[in-house]
Structure 1
Amino acid sequence: MPQFELVRAKAQMFKKTEEYYNSIRTNIQFSGRDLRVLALTSVQPGEGKSTTSVNVAVSFANAGFRTLLIDADTRNSVLSGTFKANERYQGLTSFLSGNAELSDVIGDTSVPNLMIIPSGQVPPNPTSLLQSQNFQRMIETIRGLYDYVIIDTPPVGLVIDAAIIAHNADASLLVTEAGAIKRRFIQKAVEQLEQSGTQFLGVILNKVDQTVDNYGNYGDYGSYGKQNKEKKSKKAKKSKSKIKK
């Protein structure tokens, strides 16, 4: 089994934002005990969905839950720069195409309680692979092995993959950057996720500068996840995320 190490810069980022991701995790847990397989997506690339997926998974793992992170953004994975492997490895696409067993593509990480399925090589037919029985079988198998499964999916505004994955998950979340995407595109993405037949939990709003009244300026990735009750606080924060309907 390959070993994946969370790179130092990413680990340090989580340490600085741990409180906020723990808040997001708690909101997810309060949404229902049966919501254990979660699909995270965004409208466009670069909104922070992969960073959010990793840090939410780390939060669950740190809380003592056996957690699996699946990199299902096979077209344009960015998680390969987040975890470094100690040897050559196969990924999700190898399993879905029938070239590897599920046990061959699950790797351990340097984070206790956290395991990962990397995306693997870019396939010629990613959508077809996600629609295969192998994908459905994988989801059913891992339900019995892990407390929580976090799936980083491609942007729903670009391809249909996220809706397919959400259909097989228990719930979905949309990550969006404040002020970067027009409201109508966010609403369309929400509708796509709701039409998948899976419970839609809400939106994680990234990079919100609480020191301004509008969304004209954003903070960096330094602070995520203030919830509604904390929004009322008079303390200014550089940025935040929140789950909201």
Structure 2
Amino acid sequence: MTRRKVIFWNDLNDSYIVSEEYNGDKAEMERFGLGACDHTWPEFMEAMSSVSNLADFLKVISYITASYHATVNGVPLPEQANNLPGSRLNVVHSHKELYNLVGDMDEVWEVKRNIPGAHLLDVSTIAPKPKQVWDGKEVIDEDDFDYATAKPGDFVTQAVVDNAMDCLPPVCMSTRCSQMGEPYSSKLDEKTGEWRSTYATFRKVGGEWPNGIWEYCGHCFWGETVERGKEMAHIQNLLATIER
């Protein structure tokens, strides 16, 4: 039987509301003698024809879900036929998450905010792109990059750097490096004896915009691409050792 899901895309916060999986419809279940459903899929999509907001979408999804019944010997179970079951929904915020939920479906129907009706989604348009490799290492894209786990020397896509530069006006953006505008911390610069701010730093290693390849350099002083300097905790530990 045809496996289907229905999604609602909310462009206000780039979120996707994903329905549970629906297997077959009235026509298919009657043909195969499996389960029971009150309506055909075209009838469900007719119910979706005027839906263009989340509230209406949820109403129709509940209506679709309520139309499917478990059966014993082809007879609907009374408790399921008479009660409205809760819809099992997922909320995701990226194409990667969405593909994980719908990538193996036979059909995916999409409703967009302020655009009435459901339309078949071409799932190939949200399929993950093959990972890039640069100098023998995987290039991390914006879906997988995380400052909490990133390490100096990691290669990243142009989109990762563009997102960093768009957060705030960059503190440095030159042919040498690009640095996020908000300081990460302060370190003691051994060369000058002064405390200086550090910034999330990237340097370009290849390619051209919008397909540039960059190296994440960690948290560096302004205009630099190598982590150095001493953290406050290191200084405090050193002073405590001297006092003892």
Confirm or deny a common fold (TM above 0.5): no
- Give 1 or 2: higher helix fraction: 1
TM-score (norm. length: structure 1): 0.19
Structure with the bigger RCO (C-alpha within 8 Å, sep 6+) is 1
